[in-house]
Chain A
Amino acid sequence: MTIRFVLLVNKQGQTRLAQYYEYLTIEERRALEGEIVRKCLSRSDSQCSFIEHRNHKVVYRRYASLFFLVGVDGDENELAILEFIHCLVETMDRYFGNVCELDIMFHLEKAHFILEEMVMNGCVVEINKSNILTPIQLMDKNS
């Protein structure tokens, strides 16, 4: 019951955010990202939002030009992860206001902080948006 990685990748296959909960070397990451994105891009909207890749299961969701990919292990509830992705996007949306790809690129560290609040040790620990954003907003205020 663990999330192994969270990836944000755009249509061109360029990584926009990557957080791994299990250590992989840079080369392994590159290869993994490339292969998964290629697979996701080749799928149509009507097909299901899950793919199996090696020993990972990947749950993905597309928002505008950006793919949100979450790699999980075998016991994870795929539909719940699909909704976790949406919750992440909603939270980012509340923080940035109409979040778009460029927001995440300009505020990479903030996007990471949001994710850090929501997922720890590969478990979803928080979906309460005010609990997620309060520490980050307090931090913005103080610095």
Chain B
Amino acid sequence: MATSLRCFLRSGKRAGLVAAQRGFSRSSAAAVQVNVRDALNQAMDEELERDERVFLLGEEVAQYDGAYKVSRGLWKKYGDKRIIDTPISEMGFAGIAVGAAMAGLRPICEFMTFNFSMQAIDQVINSAAKTYYMSAGLQPVPIVFRGPNGASAGVAAQHSQCFAAWYAHCPGLKVVSPWNSEDARGLLKAAIRDDNPVVFLENELMYGVPFEMSEESLSKNFTIPIGKAKVERQGAHVTLVSHSRFVGLCLDAAAVLAKEGVDCEVINLRTIRPLDVECIEGSVMKTNHLVTVEGGWPQFGVGAEICARIMEGPAFNYLDSPVTRVTGVDIPMPYAKILEDHSLPQVKDIIFSVKKTLNV
């Protein structure tokens, strides 16, 4: 019962909310249910309180409480100076945010979705990412760019793109991609405290999903180190590596495969750049098989990078079969539900790929 409930939660289905409403009993004295949205909200609230230089800007972040309500209550608490509504001018306000970071502030720049960050990408790459290098260490840019990334539900081609690979390609940027509430809270606090530009990729479908959080993870100084992955499930036969919402799908697939005697190790990357290759290598050297799972397109993507890095390192000799990448289909996102469902990895695709990789 507890296992299946945990599966529900991990899979990121809204059924998790039902579990919460059933008065889910705490497994430890201090465990509490917090959804990803609230975890992000609390993290920002605490960091705004802790450091006066931190401020949030973006479209609808203040008086509307956030397009997805992630910044709910913050404007009421901190006012116009710290929580700033911008016009629809991404290139402009991203540049303004970077400038503010250069002059001593610590902005959180929200893109309503990362699709709109494309309009501002020059500021993210050329003005934020490269400046510390170009100035030989004179000019840091302590900024966080955050917002929902990847596919939602039925939002069609221009609103469904995953930007993990795009941003992770660039030296000078850190790129993080949380999955659950603990990730969201710990990584956002770490990102805000980091003196470098951090691209923080959230996921709209995860906002409303509740997860258990330990007392430790709810403490004010809880941060998760950027650049370290987490093994969510130990296993012996195959390593599944994923980030964001698809970690949940991997855990669901692992649960099904366990019944068939296939024991999966599931790694939650947490950070895309810098990639925790050692964690993946250590796992592959144990399991001898690797399957990567992501929502983004296959070409030049996160899975492609993992394949290359494994080949370049010691783990290659431990592989019993080539690495398998499970990815989004290599097409713009269609609108019709049946087509959209078939454009992204489903649990059955992961199960299929694991079996093919293991040749079972």
Partners in one complex: no
Chain A residues close to B by CB (< 8 Å): none
Chain B residues close to A by CB (< 8 Å): none
